[in-house]
Amino acid sequence: MQNKPLYILTYDHGGFVLWGKDVKPRLKELVEWMEKYPKLKVGLDYESFTFDEYSETDPEIIELITYLLKKYPDRVGLGATTYGQPLSLFVSEESNVRQLTYAIKTNNKFFNQTPDVYAISEFALNNQTPQLIKLCGYKAAILRSHVMGYGYTKTFDLPWGRWIGKDLTEIPAVPTYDEQGRGFNCTTVDNWIMSRWPREGCYWCLEDFEKKFEHISPLLASRYDDLTQDVQDITEYIETKDNYHYVLLEDLPELYGEAKEEMRTNDNDFHVQMPWGYCGNEIFNGCRSSEVAAVQAEKLNALSVLLGGVSYQQDIEQAWKYALVAQHHDVTICGLLDLARRFIPDSLKLSDSVITESSKTLVKRFADKDNESLLVANQNSFDVDEWIDVEVSENLSVFDGEKELESVVVEKNNVKTLSVHIVMPALSVKRFTLQKGVCSSKHNFVWNEETGELITPIYKVKLTDDGISYIEKVKDSSRIFDNGDGELFTACIDGENCKSEGKWNVVINSHYAVATQNGKIGSVPYCFEMLFNGKQPRIDCKVNFEIHNQKIGRTGVAEGLKKSLTIDGHRHEEKLNFIMNVCVDNDRRMVRDLPFAISDWNGAVRKNESYWYPEDDIRYDVEVSPEESFNSVTYMQGIYWLALRDKKQGVAVINRGCMGSLVKGNRLEIPLVYANSYMCGTKMLDGIFDDEFSLLPLDETISDVDLHKQAMSYEYTPQVFKIAKGDGDLSEYKIADFDDNDSDVILTAFYYEDGAYFARFCNFSDNAAEVNFDMKQGKIMKTADLLGNEISDINGKVLCFRPWEIKTIKISI
């Protein structure tokens, strides 16, 4: 064993976020160490935002990194593979792309180099990672989350293999070995040794690691851990070992050679957890708002440029960068509110500015010489059916030619809002005429205060002081969910189990009903609102809680641990949760969306998920019976939505930030607030905290892809602008013809960059697909990688997709 080489990869995990004050001292220490320890090779696992930030606030740090990279090109490596070190299963599909591309561009900008092997400290992995990183030019990957506070992945008993992801893209990768360690709130064994030996009860040493995995060759011990860890003792020790050899990321492909063995992963091989409700969900909701706004801004600006407007590429890039760093795992997990309150507003401000400036071109082109009008832009690649709002100064009705649209004007706090029902074709912009007066049509809403029954055009809702008793369909009286005598919220508040209680007020207008319950749960006042719009099946919900330092959620020690470990922020059972008991059969599916994916969740049982430190036995998930799985508590998490459904019906929860749920049988709970002891920094709450989400009842006609489109429509609502009279030359404009309505291919981005237009699509299906895509302007189309580099020509207008393929189209005008 002594003659067998052990390869050692050690990267300092840090950067501006969380570790700002420690970056410069550590870099200065590394300058000394490179002479002191001649064998040492070391990498810098910083978020690439660090380089942008310090180039303006502390250029000496950039100079130190530049010096190390130039002085020791074979011994110091750059490890920055994401711009903001996100937990990639909790950021949108386009955020996943931009985290990769902005990292590469920023690395090259400052140092004229970037890693060619993808590796991370904390959980920036998902089942589309092979496709995404290969489209960014990566040659290989390390399939390890070294610090598994929030996620761990599948293990393999191999030194090196072909990591095969959801779309069957494969990339060479070093895996996490079987029994190397997986579980929440732990690290891999080698990472633990190299970050903490011989301290902190680390009874393993590198010789133990060699012995444990002597059948693996080449054997790699890797460390991606905090730059503040005291690693001098083990660095000195490695200097004495002839068979220990440091490597950098770029050394791995040559060291390992051709990858032959398959390493297939599926969506459920990426186990994750998040402290939903932490900080009142302020950061999670804010991150969602900023990433959505950036996508909307770049789409509208691309449309504006098509119609003769100015490109705001630089502002869009900066809006994205602020959004990406707000998604940093330490911002979201450690509740770094000062950074969140800096980056999220700055991102939103830039996106809003781009939208405002871009709209000026559109308003000029679409202004009607005879009437004030509304301009609506649907930049989704599918038709949308939405109620949209715009502020007005008087009562107005809306016309599409001679046809009057459903609309209503509501005044609240001296502000009038026009809500109008718009059906818009995919990728289109249209002008609608405004006329004085109110809409003549109306819907039939009935509220019986005595019985607590609200009847809408499609639902019957029974409301009680305890919450929602049930919602059923008018057409056949089938229940969508049934909460008995009524439930709305439950929580453990200041150590007491509490249920919400309040009084309902229902306001009925010509085209909608708003049911509002003002009440209390324990000592926490709240205001919950459900909006029923016309015949739209979606029920939009808003809630705010007034919190003044109450302890919300229960604390305790994880069952079976040999040492105390606070995991309470990750345990959802007694947080302030929204409650539904969904009416589906026992063979119901739990299904959710993930980055560029839709997937059934396999119902892994909470009690079998591992929390361990190295002194504990390594424990793995075990097989359980379907009945045990059904009756056990499971945590299900999606990006935009999650759902319980059987073959006939179900309910989806579409969210604007809180992406988690607790499921037990058919009981679905959405955690909205946690404020109690927490291992990464307790954050008590004082103020008003808001959440928005939507309930979408499902039937057998709504496929999972249809559900995803409806969620996208909720998130990326058509943009609307009120415009004065003018001499515009357009009344309608089609960005492109795209036969997506009956297909599973969805546009995820449309933007203008460096003189060309880019449209990115994903096939959200297990089946191959062909779709026509015909830009109204620009006929030269090529496929491109995620960095905009051309890959191949496209013959004609037909785009061909393999299952789950991501494809970017470059259009030259």
pLDDT in the model for residue 199: 84
How high is the pLDDT of residue 285? 98
DSSP conformation class of 251: G
How big is the chain by its Cα radius of gyration, in Å? 27
Q: What's the pLDDT at 675?
A: 97
Q: How far apart are CA 397 and CA 401, in angstroms?
A: 12
**How far apart (Å, rounded) are the C-alpha atoms in residues 387 and 375?**
14
Query: Of 153, 95, 155, 101, nearest to 122 (Cα)?
Result: 153
Q: Render pLDDT for 174-185 as a digit per residue (tens, 0 to 9).
A: 999 999 988 887
Q: What is the DSSP string of 710-744?
A: HHHHHHSPPEEEEE-----S-SEEESEEE--TTSS
- pTM for the model stands at 0.96
Cβ 155 vs Cβ 175: under 8 Å: yes
Residue among 68, 100, 94, 65 at smallest CA distance from 82:
100
Predicted confidence (pLDDT) per residue in 738-772, tens digit: 876 678 999 999 999 999 999 999 999 999 999 99
pLDDT at position 615: 33
The predicted pLDDT at position 2 comes to 55
User: Measured between alpha carbons, how far is 543 from 528 in angstroms, rounded to an integer?
Assistant: 4
What integer pLDDT is reported at residue 800 of this predicted model? 93
Strand 576-581, strand 489-493: pairing: antiparallel
CB atoms within 10 A of CB 613: 16
Q: Where are the beta strands (DSSP E) in 178-275?
A: 219-226, 244-246, 262-264, 271-272
Instruction: Quote the CA–CA distance of 268 and 605 in Å, as a whole number.
Output: 13
Q: Helix H segments across 367-460?
A: none
The values of phi and psi at residue 592, to 5°, are -155, 165
**pLDDT (0 to 100) of residue 680:** 87
Measured distance CA(19)–CA(165) in Å, rounded: 33
Over 71-94, what HEC string results?
Answer: HCCCCEEECCCCCCCECHHHCCHH
Per-residue confidence (pLDDT) for residue 433, from 0 to 100 = 96
DSSP structure class, residue 674:
B
Coil, strand or helix at 330:
helix
Write the pLDDT tens digit of every residue in 284-319: 999 999 999 999 999 999 999 999 999 999 999 999
Report the C-alpha gap between 229 and 26 in whole angstroms: 10
First-residue to last-residue Cα distance in the chain: 63
Long-range contacts of residues 55-63, Cβ cutoff 8 Å, at least 24 apart: 55/110, 58/24, 60/24, 61/23, 61/24, 61/27, 62/110
Sequence letter at residue 412: K
Residues of the chain with pLDDT under 70: 1-2, 201, 556-567, 603-626, 740-741
The H or E element containing residue 63 is helix 59-71
Rounded to whole angstroms, how far apart are CA atoms 556 and 495? 12
Rounded CA gap, 799 and 783, in Å?
10
Report how far apart, in Å, the C-alpha atoms of 269 and of each of 182, 643, 792 are.
11, 19, 33
DSSP three-state, residue 760? strand
Q: Distance between CA atoms of 371 and 524, rounded to whole angstroms?
A: 49
Supply the pLDDT for residue 412. 85
Give the 3-state secondary structure of 545-610: EEEECCCECCCCECCCCCCCCECHHHCCCCCEEEEEEECCCCCCEEEEEECCEEEECCCCCHHHCC
Using DSSP's 3-state secondary structure scheme, residue 11 falls into strand
Give the 3-state secondary structure of 455-520: ECCCEEEEEECCEEEEEEECCCCCEEEEEEEEECEEEEECCEEEEEEEEEEEEECCCEEEEEEEEE
Cα 220 from Cα 213, distance rounded (Å): 10
Written as six digits, the tokens of 202 are 């680390």
Report the mean per-residue pLDDT for the chain: 93
C-alpha to C-alpha distances, 518 to 68, 484, 525, nearest whole angstrom: 60, 20, 8
